[in-house]
A = this chain, B = another copy of it.
């Protein structure tokens, strides 16, 4: 992962898949390339093989199951998303919660396969416990702000501050802030508060000009990272 981390969750909107999904991914790729940065796209399962071909950005799944290969009809397994071109996956998103043992089982598999992983949590008290299970990053999102347009940066900066403090106890795991992130200012604030990047969905997916929103995020993220002298 490359800081500032910008992770766009496509979710399951009407423009998250099919031609519209390819179109929005290409627009984001363009602006990402301009700034020589990297934007992660977390997409529906059917879009992984398509977007892995169509764009050069890192493609993530939105969830994986932790079953071993075998008789598991309807499951999406780490090996499948790797084969389809994914670089990593979200786990435990508030819209797809799983148990701690399932998270750990999935992380063991993902790590073995060289896939990245972002474990979502809804409170800072779960940052250290989940970080101990060795994901690539933790994404903290107060669920009441998800999709609200009111950003965690403004409404609950202490959630970010606390999460940053917690993650420092487990070296080598990134911390990403999310929920309601809508503007470059939200990104700037989150990074200055100590986050390694941000997660976003509706502000990009529902935008008329998603590439402009992403550009604003990238510029603000880079500016904050540079001020922290912490970019890589």
Contact = CB atoms under 8 A, between A and B. Distances in A.
B129 A71 contact: no
A76 interface: yes
Given A49-B46, A76-B46, A99-B98, A71 B201 contact: yes
Contacts of A202: 71
A101 interface: yes
A104 B80 contact: no
21 contacts: A11-B73, A12-B69, A12-B71, A12-B77, A14-B69, A45-B46, A45-B80, A46-B76, A46-B83, A71-B95, A71-B201, A72-B95, A74-B90, A75-B95, A75-B96, A97-B99, A99-B99, A100-B126, A100-B130, A101-B121, A101-B122
Interface residues of A, number: 59
B104 A70 contact: no
Contact of A13 (B69, B90, B98): B69
A36 to B, nearest CB: 29
B76 A44 contact: yes
Contacts of A146: 71
Interface of A: 9, 11-14, 17-18, 42, 44-50, 61-63, 67, 69-77, 79-81, 83-84, 90, 93-101, 103-104, 121-123, 125-126, 128-130, 132-133, 146-147, 201-202
B133 A46 contact: no
A95 B123 contact: no
